[in-house]
């Protein structure tokens, strides 16, 4: 029996699974394929971290650790849906929900030891464990053609748009970065040396392999705050919105600190007046202005009214902030996880360079991205759109991505090698011989980060880039900046390993991200394709940026991770808008989440299974699912945003019907065709009845028993409302 692991996750993708997974199980059970679920949801990760706090029937296994071990198995076949990369506010909300349901998990800040255990759940905790291979993300031709024939809305760009990106020009991560490649294995220690010469060990041991690239850098807190003030002044002068774009989820240590500095600069007068009170309340502005609001119920009504009036006065005096939710008055500075750069910047670029103001109207914005490493790429898109106008979705080419990410490559600002200096002094990185590798003078508040990129994943990345360029006959650009310390080391590696592959007839080049962006856009406008070969962070950014411009969403990308030990990880797209989808579903039983990413990942998973384990039926399932997905797109059965149309559950029905029809008419396996012929017929005959049952409760609120931990029975009932369809599927 072959196994495919289907991950249990969070929010809208989790709801969709209640509807889609029964279909998958029904269609695969006669083909020797077992669908196994593993819980890597935020709630699941919390519960598995604190078994000593739970009753026996509440305990669950650490599924993430199990999957991490499975990635080393050549037979691994994992379909990974988007999971929550939790910020501290999200984590605290999930903890509170679990506690309300009788799970006696501790509070986040109950002790240093408890906080340290929770820190392993924060941010991008899942991806580094599972991504034991590099990333191959692209828009399948059927999806790209659908987008061209059914263009999504694009905001109109004006040549005189005031939208721009502002970034630091000195003392940022880019400017201070140092990098070196180790010729032999070593072990590094990170220490803080105070002005009086006392050493505090920040991290005692970081093993380094031969050939590994290690880089370190330090951002000046003073320069960062001066930069924020400059950006605030610029937005005020230009009379445009001010928006901050960071990634406080994936870069869970560095970016919340940077977010906090932005809040403190914007609200400096408020803090100057009430700072002592805020300190006594334990307000942490790294968690956004929302952290202050969450603690105002601890003060008397008069003091709360005074503080709220002072906040309102600051909003009048300062530039207008971009809004996350205009109706609720939630600004860009409210919660760090509300605005994530890889989703927020592409959405703004797709919208003609505009974000939403307090009146729920679109305006130009100053997009604040402090560090220079990649900010200039977004500015290059803005300049291109101002000069050449809105991209024409019906004609533009595509920009697939080959991304370095295996073995935690370039996990910047998210791990145990990122620290904030508490005082003036020096941060030293020394090797096991006691020699200094890196040294940075620091002031209080400065942010230090160190990162690794192992040699074997880099070799695999170069190999994958050549393979993709060859298979698709498409030019490929390595997005590497020779003037950045880390990238200079990477360029040496690329130039070393490219000659090991047959690149004859291929167009493979190296260019700085800003130049690579310009070239890719120029070719894109001509209808030409260009592979972006990038490091981990740009992989994350580009696989949202270009798909959102091309397809309207990154959820429709095919994302394959060939694991280095021979297995396969198949990712199903991004989940950035999932919270809004859940809110809409609970209010009106209409789920607009598009499972197209799941359809494509599942087909790739079947194909891999067939190729690696000799399962002939798996190949048939892959081929027929691909054809069904093509019909699904041609018939336009994807969910729409608004009530009254096909939603996620309806899309699953149509995919299932088209898939059954394809299985019934294929000629490679007569027994399989005979099995699915009556299923296809039953679905077609009952199409109207099934649709009526699916929409019967549209517009009616529903309780699914929780957000981070829904009640399985309630959620399944809500997501499988058609008894007719259920009867057909369950009997299959």
| pLDDT tens-digit map of 131-151 | 889 999 999 888 999 899 999
Closest by alpha carbon to 23, among 618, 478, 651, 714? Answer: 651
CA dist 537 and 123 (Å) reads: 14
Please name the helix (run of DSSP H) or strand (run of DSSP E) that holds residue 191, with its range, or none: strand 186-194
pLDDT per position as a tens digit, 375-408 = 999 999 999 999 999 999 999 999 999 999 999 8
Q: How does residue 449 score in pLDDT terms, banded at 50, 70 and 90?
A: very high
Starting from the edge strand earliest in sequence, which strands make up the sheet with 447-453, in order?
A: 178-181, 213-219, 447-453, 418-420
Is the separation of the CB atoms in 607 and 568 below 8 Å?
no
Distance CA 378, CA 385 (A): 11
Residue 655: name the closest of 698, 597, 572, 596 by CA.
596
pLDDT at 414 over 80: no
CA separation for the pair 665, 38 (Å, rounded): 34
pLDDT 10s digits, 15-32: 999 999 999 999 999 999
Question: What is the distance between the alpha carbons of residues 230 and 225, in angstroms, rounded to a whole number?
Answer: 9
Tokens of 210: 């031969």
Range in 32-46, 187-201, 330-344 the model is least confident about: 330-344
Better-predicted residue by pLDDT, 731 or 462? 462
Give yes or no for residue 576 having a pLDDT over 60: no
Cβ proximity of 659 and 27 under 8 Å: yes
| pLDDT computed for residue 575 by the predictor | 59
Give residue-wise pLDDT tens across range 347-376. 999 999 999 999 999 999 999 999 999 999
What is residue 321's predicted lDDT score, i.e. its pLDDT? 97
pLDDT tens digits, 715-730: 999 999 999 999 999 9
Burial 316-345 (b: 16+ CB within 10 A, else e): eebbbbbbbeeeeebbbbbbbbbbbbbbbb
Measured CA to CA, the distance from residue 443 to residue 176 in angstroms comes to 14
d(Cα 381, Cα 545) in Å, to the nearest integer? 10
> What is the pairing mode between strands 186-194 and 436-442?
unpaired
Q: Is a pLDDT exceeding 80 seen at residue 123?
A: no
pLDDT of residue 140: 87
Q: What is the rounded distance in angstroms from the CA atom of residue 517 to the CA atom of residue 101?
A: 49
Which of 156-160, 253-257, 553-557, 619-623 bottoms out in mean pLDDT, i.e. has the lowest?
553-557
Going by C-alpha positions, the residue among 113, 4, 14 that lies closest to residue 708 is 14
Backbone phi and psi for residue 315, each to the nearest 5 degrees, phi listed first = -60, -30
- 440-450: average pLDDT: 98
Please give the residue that has the higher pLDDT: either 479 or 413: 479
Q: What is the pLDDT of residues 639-673, one digit of tens each?
A: 988 888 899 999 999 999 999 999 999 999 999 99
Phi, psi (5° rounding) for residue 367? -90, 115
pLDDT tens by residue, 58-84: 999 999 999 999 999 999 999 999 888
Question: What's the mean pLDDT in 407-419?
Answer: 87
Q: From residue 713, give the alpha-carbon distance in Å to each of 150, 178, 386, 694, 709.
A: 37, 54, 51, 17, 12
What pLDDT, on a 0 to 100 scale, did the predictor assign at position 322? Answer: 97
In percent, the amount of the chain with pLDDT more than 70 equals 99
DSSP 3-state of 371: coil
What are the beta bridge partners of residue 436?
Answer: 430
Q: Residue 685: pLDDT above 60? A: yes
> Can you tell me the distance from the alpha carbon of 258 to that of 101, in angstroms, rounded to the nearest whole number?
34
C-alpha 150/C-alpha 146 separation (Å) is 6
Helix runs in 29-124, H state only = 42-49, 63-70, 88-100, 112-119
Q: What pairing do the DSSP bridges indicate for beta strands 425-430 and 213-219? A: unpaired
Average pLDDT over residues 28-48: 96
3-state DSSP assignment of residue 77: strand
Mean pLDDT (whole number) for 523-532: 98
> Would the pLDDT of 278 be above 80?
yes
Residue 125 pLDDT exceeds 70:
yes
> Model-level pTM greater than 0.85?
yes
């Amino acid at each position: 029996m072959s196994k495919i692991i289907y991950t249990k996750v969070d929010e809208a993708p989790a709801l969709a699974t209640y509807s889609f997974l029964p279909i998958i199980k029904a269609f695969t059970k006669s083909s020797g394929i077992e669908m196994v679920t593993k819980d890597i949801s935020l709630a699941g990760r919390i519960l598995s971290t604190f078994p000593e706090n739970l009753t026996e029937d509440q305990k669950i296994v650490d599924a993430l650790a199990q999957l991490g071990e499975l990635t080393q198995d050549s037979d691994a076949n994992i379909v990974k849906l988007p999971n929550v990369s939790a910020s501290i506010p999200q984590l605290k909300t999930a903890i509170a929900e679990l506690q309300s349901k009788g799970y006696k998990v501790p509070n986040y800040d109950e002790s240093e030891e408890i906080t340290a255990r929770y820190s392993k759940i924060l941010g991008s905790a899942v991806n580094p464990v599972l991504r034991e291979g590099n990333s191959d993300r692209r828009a399948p031709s059927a999806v790209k053609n659908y987008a061209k024939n059914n263009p999504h809305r694009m905001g109109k760009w004006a040549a005189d748009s005031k939208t721009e990106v502002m970034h630091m020009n000195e003392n940022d991560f880019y400017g201070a970065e140092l990098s070196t490649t180790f010729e032999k294995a070593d072990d590094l220690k990170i220490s803080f040396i105070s002005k009086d010469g006392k050493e505090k060990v920040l991290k005692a041991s970081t093993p380094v392999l031969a050939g590994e690239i290690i880089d370190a850098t330090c951002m000046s807190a003073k320069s960062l705050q001066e930069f924020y003030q400059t950006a605030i002044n610029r937005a005020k002068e230009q009379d445009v919105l001010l928006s901050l774009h960071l990634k406080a989820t994936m870069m869970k240590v560095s970016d919340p600190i940077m977010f906090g500095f932005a809040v403190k600069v914007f609200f400096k007068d408020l803090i100057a007046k009430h700072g002592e009170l805020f300190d006594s309340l334990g307000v942490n502005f790294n968690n956004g202005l929302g952290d202050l609001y969450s603690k105002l119920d601890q003060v008397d009504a008069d003091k709360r009214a005074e503080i709220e009036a002072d906040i309102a006065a600051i909003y009048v005096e300062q530039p207008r902030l971009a809004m996350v939710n205009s109706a609720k008055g939630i600004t860009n500075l409210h919660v760090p996880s509300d605005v994530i750069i890889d989703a927020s910047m592409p959405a703004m670029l797709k919208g003609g360079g505009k974000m939403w103001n307090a009146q729920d109207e679109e305006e130009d914005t100053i997009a604040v991205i402090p560090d220079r490493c990649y900010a200039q790429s977004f500015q290059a898109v803005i300049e291109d759109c101002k000069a050449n106008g809105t991209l024409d979705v019906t004609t533009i080419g595509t920009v697939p991505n080959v991304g370095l990410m295996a073995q935690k490559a370039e996990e910047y600002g998210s791990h145990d090698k990122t620290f904030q200096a508490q005082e003036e002094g020096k941060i030293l990185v020394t090797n096991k011989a006691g020699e200094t590798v890196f040294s940075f003078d620091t002031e209080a508040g400065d942010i230090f980060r160190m990162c690794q990129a192992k040699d074997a994943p880099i070799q695999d990345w170069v190999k994958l880039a050549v393979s993709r360029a060859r298979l698709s006959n498409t030019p490929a650009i390595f997005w590497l900046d020779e003037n950045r310390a880390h990238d200079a080391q990477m360029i040496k590696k690329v130039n070393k390993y490219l000659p090991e592959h047959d690149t004859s007839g291929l167009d493979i080049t190296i260019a700085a991200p800003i130049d690579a962006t310009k070239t890719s856009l120029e070719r894109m406008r001509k209808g030409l394709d260009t592979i972006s070969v990038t490091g981990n962070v740009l992989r994350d950014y580009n696989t949202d940026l270009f798909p959102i411009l091309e397809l309207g969403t990154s959820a429709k990308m095919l994302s394959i991770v060939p694991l280095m030990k021979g297995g396969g990880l198949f990712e199903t797209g991004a989940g950035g808008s999932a919270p809004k989808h859940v809110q809409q579903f609970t209010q009106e039983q209409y789920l607009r989440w598009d499972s197209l990413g799941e359809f494509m990942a599942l087909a790739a998973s079947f194909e891999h299974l067939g190729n690696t384990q000799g399962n002939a039926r798996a190949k048939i399932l892959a081929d027929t699912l691909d054809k069904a997905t093509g019909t699904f797109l041609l018939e336009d059965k994807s969910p729409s945003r608004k009530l009254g149309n096909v939603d996620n559950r309806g899309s699953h029905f149509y995919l299932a019907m088209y898939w059954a029809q394809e299985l019934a008419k294929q000629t490679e396996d007569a027994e399989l065709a005979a099995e699915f012929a009556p299923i296809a017929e039953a679905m077609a005959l009952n199409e109207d009845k099934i649709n009526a049952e699916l929409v019967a409760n549209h517009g009616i609120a529903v309780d699914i028993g929780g957000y981070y931990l829904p009640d399985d029975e309630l959620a399944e009932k809500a997501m499988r409302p058609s008894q007719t369809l259920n009867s057909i599927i369950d009997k299959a």
